Chains A and B, each alone.
Chain A
Amino acid sequence: MSKRLTITLLLSPAILIIVTLFIGGFLFGLFQSFGYMPIIGQHDMSLDAYRNMFTDTKFFGSLFLTLWISLAATILTIIFAIITALAMRQTFKGRRIINFLYQFPITIPHLVIAVGAMLLFSQSGMFARIFYALGIISDQSQFPILVYDNLGIGIIYVYLWKQIPFMGLIVISILQSVGNDYEELARSLGANRWQTFRYVLLPLIVPGILPISIICFAYTFGSFEVPYLLGKPFPAVLSVLAYRLFEDVDLNARPEAMAMAVFIAVFISILVIFYKKLIKRITGRT
């Protein structure tokens, strides 16, 4: 068997599934966004859906909220992943148990933690009760709004809970492959702990987590369940807004839902391509 044939055989089932669903879905969505829906007898193509979308202030509110949530979640994930990974990599008593706990969030569905966040952070949640018991607040309305809030704090919390260990494990494996020698060497050359971290460890870790941070960002950008449960109705994140239009009984809202889906797909793709170029420039130079 030639190498080319082998590779083709190995790849084709997976590629077939992904191409059909992904590219097929995208193209069908694209056509529908132009108003082309033969099923309900619409054959005329137009850009009305896009015009409506881009003139709608609601849309931009959603876009900024979505960007804010995914950016904040990704940056905080990176910071906490590095901090926790540094603490986790040494040997200490009870390491096995903590290691197990650390991996725990990877397998727990977002939904469960969204429910947990609701029960913890809402104005009648556990924290509000604890604050009341401690006399810090005298009424539940004094507790800060942390879920269904403007900044999506509850949403960000759930993403952090899920993503920190995921990225943290990658940081730990990078640290393992780097070993202790570079740090020792830096100390021996006169770097103190902070300088060792800043000039040696950080530059060794960061290139390894930049790619995975794109996935975190993209995931948060497009994910639906958590913001649907913990977000305010308005502004809602883009995916929630798109789904609402999709579910609208008025089929005329369909093209706009599709336009938004196309926008999400194109926007995130452009961001990722741009980010990849940026990484290449950073890591290529260093």
Chain B
Amino acid sequence: MSQSAGLSKTGVIKKQSHKQRQSNVMRNIVLLGIIVGVILPMIPQLLWSFSFRWYFPSLLPTELSSRAWVYVANPNSKILESFIVSLIIALSVTAIGIVVGVPAGKALGMYKFRGKELIELIILAPTIVPGLAVIMGIQILFIRFGLSDNIVGVIIVHLLPSLPYMIISMAGVFANYDPQFEEQARSLGANAIKTFYYITLPVIFPGIVVGAMFTFLISWSQYILTIMVGGGRVITLPVLLFSFAGSGDNAIASALSIIFVLPAIVILIVTSKYLSGKSGGMGGFGSI
């Protein structure tokens, strides 16, 4: 009975049924579709950003040039400045989002209370009703209180579309969180701070990462709310990209797109493992 072990290493013949092969072919077609589909809309920007002239019907740029990149790097173009402004706004929104969103997520995920449905409705409302539709009404107040045309006002309005995502993702992790672990840690002699650091934080961390990612990205990509409250004075990257995309200067619009994507790629590399399945970072979104 035991002589088989050696045989199995060499004697394994992988037989796949016809059906099995067929389904693998289908899967590979879908996977190929994913690869091509994802990469496709980013290829033209790469080519355009290095082109000078690229008339129809040439498949590749007729003349290469670093014009667009030189323009981007030139301090007079204010592009790098707008990058910094965007970053400051998005990071501030994320920080406020975490501070405000984690407790709210905890309340929604861990407790049952009267009026919970109403609270959930209020928190979810901004994911349903577009920010544009409500900020139009309040813009006049921002002007009145001196919050328009400056970064503070922009940070405040960016919280509206992003905060719900932070809270949803925290509510998701807290819903699966067993407070008895905290009690156990306390009874084993950990104080409140240590309990949070060693017990609570590791469990909720994936939720914070995913929530922070959404918060940052929503703020980072925001155009219309920035324009309405920033009034053209707060120049973020999307504001610039928008004007170049409309102007027909494909080379600069493309170079800007690439810069615009960079933080997103960094973020994805950092958060990728929290996004899929098991760690539960996305869990909250399934149970909205």
Contact = CB atoms under 8 A, between A and B. Distances in A.
Touch A–B, Cβ below 8 Å: yes
Interface of A: 3-4, 6-7, 9-11, 13-15, 17-19, 21-32, 39, 83-84, 86-88, 90, 92, 98-120, 124-126, 128-130, 132-133, 140, 158, 161, 169-170, 172-174, 176, 193, 208-209, 211-212, 214-215, 218-219, 221-225, 228-229, 239, 242-243, 246, 257-258, 261-262, 264-265, 268-269, 272
Interface stretch (B6-14, B122-130, B178-186, B196-204): B122-130
Interface residues of B, number: 93
Nearest to A8: B107
A107 B288 contact: no
The 8 A-B residue pairs with the shortest CB-CB distance, nearest first, are A222-B130, A29-B137, A116-B41, A25-B134, A109-B221, A119-B44, A25-B138, A87-B30
Contact of B122 (A22, A31, A229): A22
Interface in B90-104: 99-101, 103-104
Contacts of A88: 31, 34
A115 B265 CA distance: 17
B54 to A, nearest CB: 9
A264 to B, nearest CB: 4
Given A3-B113, A29-B133, A119 B48 contact: yes
24 contacts: A4-B113, A6-B107, A9-B103, A22-B125, A22-B160, A25-B135, A87-B26, A101-B39, A110-B221, A115-B253, A119-B254, A120-B44, A129-B56, A140-B57, A170-B285, A212-B286, A222-B131, A225-B223, A239-B224, A242-B133, A242-B136, A261-B136, A265-B129, A268-B129
B56 A128 contact: yes
B84 interface: no
B23 A193 contact: yes
B276 interface: yes
Given A11-B104, A108-B42, A264-B130, 7 more contacts: A14-B103, A15-B123, A18-B125, A19-B122, A22-B134, A28-B140, A246-B228
A30 B127 CA distance: 20
Q: Which of B134, B138, B254, B277 has the most CB of A within 10 A?
A: B134
A125 B133 contact: no
A58 B48 CA distance: 36
A26 to B, nearest CB: 5
Contacts of B250: 119
A224 B238 CA distance: 13
A22 B107 CA distance: 21
A118 B220 CA distance: 21
Interface stretch (B66-74, B75-83, B267-275): B267-275
Contacts of B192: none
B137 A32 contact: yes
Contact of B272 (A100, A119, A218): A100
B242 A111 contact: yes
Given A14-B104, A116-B41, A174-B286, A272 B122 contact: no
A10 B107 contact: yes
B12 to A, nearest CB: 18
Interface in B138-197: 138, 140-141, 156-157, 159-160, 163-164, 167
Interface of B: 19, 23, 26-27, 30-31, 33-35, 37-45, 48, 56-59, 99-101, 103-104, 106-108, 111, 113, 119, 122-123, 125-138, 140-141, 156-157, 159-160, 163-164, 167, 213, 217, 220-221, 223-224, 228, 238, 241-242, 245-246, 250, 253-254, 257, 260-261, 264-265, 267-268, 271-272, 275-278, 282-283, 285-288
Given A28-B140, A111-B223, A21 B45 contact: no
B56 A14 contact: no
| Majority-rule SS of B interface residues | helix
Contacts of B133: 26, 29, 222, 239, 242, 261-262, 264-265
B276 A109 contact: no
Nearest to A164: B37
A246 B285 CA distance: 33
Contact of A169 (B57, B141, B276): B276
A212 to B, nearest CB: 6
B57 A133 contact: yes
Contacts of B267: 107
Contacts of B34: 84, 87-88, 98, 101-102
A18 B131 CA distance: 11
Nearest to B238: A111
A250 to B, nearest CB: 16
B138 to A, nearest CB: 4
Contact of A10 (B106, B126, B287): B106
Contacts of B27: 86-87, 90, 92
A109 B140 contact: no
A239 B56 contact: no
Given A104-B268, A225-B224, A215 B41 contact: no
A169 B274 CA distance: 11
